[in-house]
Amino acid sequence: MIPTIQWSGKKVLMIDQRKIPAKLEWFSCRGYKDVIRGIKKMVIRGAPAIGVAAAMGLALGAASIRVKSYARFRKSFKRMAGEMSKARPTAVNLRWAVERMCLIVDSMADQPVDIIKNVLRQESENILEEDIDINRRIGQHGQKLIKSNVTILTHCNAGALATGGYGTALGVIRAAHEEGKNIAVIADETRPWLQGLRLTSFELMKDRIPVRVIADNAAGSLMRQARIDVVVTGADRIASNGDVANKIGTYQVAVLARENSIPFYVAAPLSTIDMTIKNGDMIPVEHRTPKEISHFNARLVGPKGVKALNPAFDITPAKYVTAIITEKGVIKPPYVSGMKKLFK
Amino acid sequence: MIPTIQWSGKKVLMIDQRKIPAKLEWFSCRGYKDVIRGIKKMVIRGAPAIGVAAAMGLALGAASIRVKSYARFRKSFKRMAGEMSKARPTAVNLRWAVERMCLIVDSMADQPVDIIKNVLRQESENILEEDIDINRRIGQHGQKLIKSNVTILTHCNAGALATGGYGTALGVIRAAHEEGKNIAVIADETRPWLQGLRLTSFELMKDRIPVRVIADNAAGSLMRQARIDVVVTGADRIASNGDVANKIGTYQVAVLARENSIPFYVAAPLSTIDMTIKNGDMIPVEHRTPKEISHFNARLVGPKGVKALNPAFDITPAKYVTAIITEKGVIKPPYVSGMKKLFK
């Protein structure tokens, strides 16, 4: 697979996901503000990938701070970290990565600034490598839940492109495929941004895993016709009670899966779980520009002046989630106790 | 409103719904084959509108039959009627209109062919006028179910453009608005063809009824947040047990409405009810070209060679339908007996 994000000398390169599959172009970040712009504009997206990007962005930012005093370095770094945290509100991995980078700065008060800068860069590389490793472990745990000769529905893109590599939901699918299981994937196209049509199909076709794309409207009907056996999605944030924030439309898929007695699995690293919040309704849901609905490729499709609502995420209550697949294993209900155990 | 379809001298003019709202263009039909093409290509769509188009198309076809013998006229007409019946498979109004036109031919064996041709043209005009009148009656019955200060979700376009005029689901909404009720509409954009974004918003904006468009993915989440009070859709065919075939995605909306204790109403004329079939799973569901999913405006959006599934309709079992609104009144469960009473 094409790397989602990588260091190239003193720059961070992101594959520009707005342009896939029409073009494979790199978006080059020379400073942390470029990274923030890349996250906001969805050059890079997917909760774990955003976490990696935030870490790399802060390493870029740290490198640009031209002071020798630790105190002044720390102050500048914390300002950048604050900005980075706000790039997008829903995925908690962003904040998780920022906090991890801040901890390093806080723990190195006795070190020269140049050393801290090096450690920050190294840490951002560690976060990337760990993320890929975590995804492979999620895949290993998750594939045990996937039988052979099944059709799997996935929503949005929780693949290599949404992570450091390999993917969470698509990691489970890849691992099942690597185990030799005969599987086929149905990908929700995932309006408005079409991550399913553009990214998930692109990844799976490259891996020669059979995939067909559907309008999001068709998922329920296919479930009712018993043409879908299992659902696997990623997550942008999971509350301590197991409620899941994920791409808009996930809640619908989960309700329809339960209505049709189909298991609904969520695959995500521990960095996506937010133990500080009690339930999903406390998760901030980003609203993006209505133009994502009314326009296509910057061209108006609806009537002039048409109004649109564009929530980017929704909350799926834990009661619809059959299990959560993490790098430490599979958690089943009741989630409140299961989560606590996981973080011990 | 712009007329959906009308006679203009010896031609039938349809507003080209593929181009709304970007352009308002007329698609001109000189013969019955033009009408079949217009129905297949979705120049005109919506079950009642297709019924009107089929009737007008057969009047055009009849006019073109250059014979004096009744027997030969009838034979040619029946061949055209057979072709017309197959233009699209799901909406039963098409077959209903064709049968109504055939009955006229069958009942006029003792009349000169030229007289029959005139009566067929007059009948097609009657069907158009009746349809508008029926929609107004559906609106009157349906608006009683709509309280003031509510937000109504609708899927696809069951408006003036889907009918002779006024609309079925949008007829209910229009009638509630005309009664002075304070209502707002949320329109599912309705992928892949975007009837909601392009047509429903266009109609409602012209009538100054507040409307906002959403990705189909957002409907469930808005229901869960209690931001939708009632759902009204149209139908393409209703089985004798109350199962409803309608635009793909309707089933999902119905399941989510029930899950969130929101009433789900279907508005349709009696000509949409097919008493010859026992349940919805006997309704043929049209599958359209996968290009409607993979392409936008003839341009590929997904990866080259991407596969897609594109069912155009789905079946909503009667158990999810709170009531069916017809020109003869509102039917509530149990539907089997309610429907029988309606047709007595």
Residue pLDDT, tens place only, A188-218? 999 999 999 999 999 999 999 999 999 999 9
Q: How far apart are CA A232 and CA A211, in angstroms?
A: 14
Helical (H) or strand (E) element with B32: helix B32-40
Task: Report helix angle A113-143 to A169-178, nearest 10.
Answer: 60
Q: Is A170 helix (H, G, I), strand (E, B) or coil?
A: helix
- Residue ranges of A 141-200 with Cβ closer than 8 A to chain B: 186, 189-192, 194, 197-198
Antiparallel, parallel or unpaired: β A150-154 and B237-239: unpaired
Calculate the alpha carbon distances from A221 to A188, A217, B4, B248, B297 in Å. Answer: 12, 8, 30, 8, 26
For chain B, the distance separating the N- and C-terminal CA atoms, rounded to the nearest angstrom, is 34
| Whole-complex ipTM | 0.96
Q: How far apart are CA A17 and CA A24, in angstroms?
A: 8
Mutation target for B interface from A202, A252, A281, A287: give the one with most B CBs within 10 A. Answer: A252
What is B5-136's CATH topology?
Four Helix Bundle (Hemerythrin (Met), subunit A) (1.20.120)
Antiparallel, parallel or unpaired: β B295-296 and B299-300: antiparallel
Q: Which amino acid is at B206?
A: K
Partner residues linked to B8 by β-bridges: B11
pLDDT in tens, chain B (344 residues): 789 999 999 999 999 999 999 999 999 999 999 999 999 999 999 999 999 999 999 999 999 999 999 999 999 999 999 999 999 999 999 999 999 999 999 999 999 999 999 999 999 999 999 999 999 999 999 999 999 999 999 999 999 999 999 999 999 999 999 999 999 999 999 999 999 999 999 999 999 999 999 999 999 999 999 999 999 999 999 999 999 999 999 999 999 999 999 999 999 999 999 999 999 999 999 999 999 999 999 999 999 999 999 999 999 999 999 999 999 999 999 999 999 999 98
Q: How far apart are CA A324 and CA A313, in angstroms?
A: 18
Q: How far apart are CA B10 and CA A333, in angstroms?
A: 69
Amino acid A17: pLDDT: 98
Tokens of A79: 């300002």
Residue pLDDT, tens place only, A98-115? 999 999 999 999 999 999
Residue B24 touches partner A, C-beta closer than 8 Å:
no
Partner residues linked to A326 by β-bridges: A329
Q: Please judge whether A249 and B224 are an interchain contact, meaning their C-beta atoms are less than 8 angstroms apart.
A: no
Q: How far apart are CA B203 and CA B15, in angstroms?
A: 13
Contact B135, B163 (CB under 8 A): yes
Residue B226 touches partner A, C-beta closer than 8 Å:
no
- Tally the C-alpha atoms within 13 A of residue A267's C-alpha that lie toward its C-beta: 38
Partner residues linked to A314 by β-bridges: A246
Q: Please judge whether B301 and A197 are an interchain contact, meaning their C-beta atoms are less than 8 angstroms apart.
A: yes
Give domain B139-342's CATH number out of 3.40.50.10470, 3.30.420.40, 3.30.70.141, 1.10.1060.10: 3.40.50.10470
Residues 6+ apart with CB under 8 A from A119: A104, A108, A111
Among the partner-chain residues A21, A213, A216, the one whose CB lies closest to the CB of B217 is A216
> For chain A, which residues make up each domain, given as ranges?
5-136, 139-342
For the stretch B165-186, what's the b/e string if a residue is b when 16 or more beta carbons lie within 10 angstroms of its beta carbon?
bbbbbbbbbbbbbeeeeebbbb
